[in-house]
Amino acid sequence: MISFNVPPKVGTEEQYISEAIQSRKICGDGQFTKKCNAWLEKKTGTAKALLTTSCTHATEMAALLADIQPGDEVIMPSYTFVSTADAFVLRGAKVVFVDIRPDTMNIDENLIEDAITDKTKAIVPVHYAGVSCEMDTIMDIARRHHLLVIEDAAQGVGSTYKGKALGAIGDYGCYSFHETKNFSMGEGGALLIKDKKNVERAEIIREKGTNRSQFFRGQIDKYTWVDAGSSYLPSELNAAYLWAQLENEDVIFNDRMKSWKLYYELLKPLAEKEYIELPVIPHECTHNAHMFYIKAKDLEERTRLLSYLKEKDVNAVFHYIPLHSAPAGKKFGIFIGEDKYTTKESERLLRLPMYYGLKASDIEYIVESIKEFWR
C-alpha cells in the first residue's frame, strides 16, 4: 500500500530530542523552542513567532487577542478544516461562511464585502494547499471596514504572496506542525504576530495568563497572574523534533517540490484531454508543495476513482465536508450568498499521496493507475 502520508523525518530528530533530555529542560520555551521561534521570525519577517501546541491553539490565541465576544461575526470559507471555525465558536462568535473560488479552492475575495455587517470583527482567509488567497484585496477590505485579518496558514509554511510569507501578512498568522504538514513536531503549531504591541499580551495568554515570559527575561522580579490565559506552549521534546526539520527546510522543500512537479508533468496529458483538472497556482504566489490534488468530473466519478486506487494499493483521500453542511456548522454558522462552488468542487477533489521521501517510482505507479482508470 502506498501511504497517503508519512510523517517527515530528516535524521537528526533523535539527537536533538536527546539533547533536550540531557539539558534537563523539557517543558516549554527552552533552547529548541527559542531556535524555532527565531527561525520563523527570520523566515517570515513577522515581529514575533511563538510555537504553540497546535495550529488550532494558535487560532484560539488569535481569537483571544482579537477580543472576539459572543455574537461577533467572523468571515471564512466553508471549505476548510474544523479548527478554523472552532477557535472562534469557543469565544461565542457566529461563523459567516462565503463561497470559494474554483481555481484555488480559497475564499472568493469578491464575496467578502457582501457578508460584512456591523457585528463583523475579523476575516479568516485559509491558504488551501499552501497557495495564497488574494491577500491585497482582503487586506484592503479589512482596512476599509476596520476588521482584523487572521490567516489560517496551517498549510502555508514556506509559501509566499507577492514575495511576502503567508501568515505574516494579516494581523495574526497560524501555522501547523502536525504530522501531516510539511514540517512537523507531532502535534504543534505557531502564532505569528505582525504588530509588536500585541506580543506582550500574546505571551501572557500563552503562559496561563501570567507574565512569566517577562520574568524569565529578567524584565520583572516576580511573576503573577495578570490576564485570562491558557497553556499553549509545547514541550521542548516536540520543539527539538521540529528544529531538525526547520534546519533542513531546503531538503524537505526540494524533495516535495520534485514530487509535485513530477505529478503535474505526468498528469498533464489527462488534463489536456479534460478527464481531470490540475491545481492552479496564481502568478502572485509561490507554493510549498504541501498537497497534490486532482479534480474528477463529479462525486460519482471521484468515488469510483478512489476505490479503483484502493484496489491498486494507493491510499488517496478526499476532504473537507463543507462546514456549513455539518451539524456544528449549521448550529454555529451561516452561509451568506450562493454555494456555487464550495459543495460542488469539494465533491470532485481527490488528494494523492504526498510526503517527504515519496519515491518517483511510486508517483509513476500512481499516475499509471489513474490513467488505467480512464482506459
Ligand X SMILES: *Cc1c(COP(=O)(O)O)cnc(C)c1O
- Residues designated as active site: 181
Shortest Å, Cβ 321 to ligand X: 14
Beta bridge mates, 295: 277, 349
Which of 30, 189, 329, 353 binds ligand X (CB under 6 A)? It is: 189
- Looking at 32, 81, 263, 356, which residue binds ligand X (CB under 6 A)? 81
Does 176 bind ligand X (CB under 6 A)? Our answer is yes
Q: Could you give the angle at the alpha carbon of 52 between the alpha carbons of 49 and 56, nearest 5°?
A: 110
Q: Which residues contact 39 (CB under 8 A, 6 or more apart)?
A: 243, 246
Please report which residue ranges of 217-298 form alpha helices under DSSP H: 236-247, 249-272
Q: Which residues pair with 164 in a beta bridge?
A: 161
CB of 81 to ligand X, least distance (A): 4
Is 55 near ligand X (CB under 6 A)? Answer: yes
Q: Which residues are bridge partners to 292 per DSSP?
A: 352
User: Is 155 a binder of ligand X (CB under 6 A)?
Assistant: yes
Question: Which residues sit opposite 97 in a β-bridge?
Answer: 76, 335
Stretch that binds ligand X, among 25-33, 53-61, 65-73, 229-237 (CB under 6 A): 53-61
Which grid cell is 213? 515570559
User: Which part of the chain contacts ligand X (CB under 6 A), choosing from 89-97, 148-156, 256-264, 294-302?
Assistant: 148-156
* Position 88 contacts ligand X (CB under 6 A): no
C-alpha cell at 322: 463543507
Does position 323 bind ligand X by CB under 6 A?
A: no
356 vs 369, which CB is nearer to ligand X? 356
Burial 7-26 (b: 16+ CB within 10 A, else e): ebebebbeebbeebeeeeeb
| Shortest distance in whole angstroms from residue 77 CB to ligand X | 10
- CB 226, min distance to ligand X, A: 27
| Shortest Cβ 323–ligand X spacing (Å) | 11
Question: Per the structure block, which three cell numbers stand in for 297?
Answer: 468530473
Residue 235 sits in the site that holds ligand X (CB under 6 A):
no
The packing angle between helices 31-44 and 13-22, to 10°, is 130
Does 178 participate in binding ligand X (rule CB under 6 A)? yes
User: Should residue 154 be labelled a site residue for ligand X when binding is judged by CB under 6 A?
Assistant: yes
CA distances from 278 to 104, 292, 306 (A): 10, 9, 16
Question: Segment near ligand X (CB under 6 A), from 75-83, 213-221, 228-236, 333-341?
Answer: 75-83
Contact of 364 with 17, CB cutoff 8 Å: no
Residues near ligand X (CB under 6 A), total:
14
Residues that bind ligand X (CB under 6 A): 54-56, 80-81, 83-84, 126, 152, 154-155, 176, 178, 189
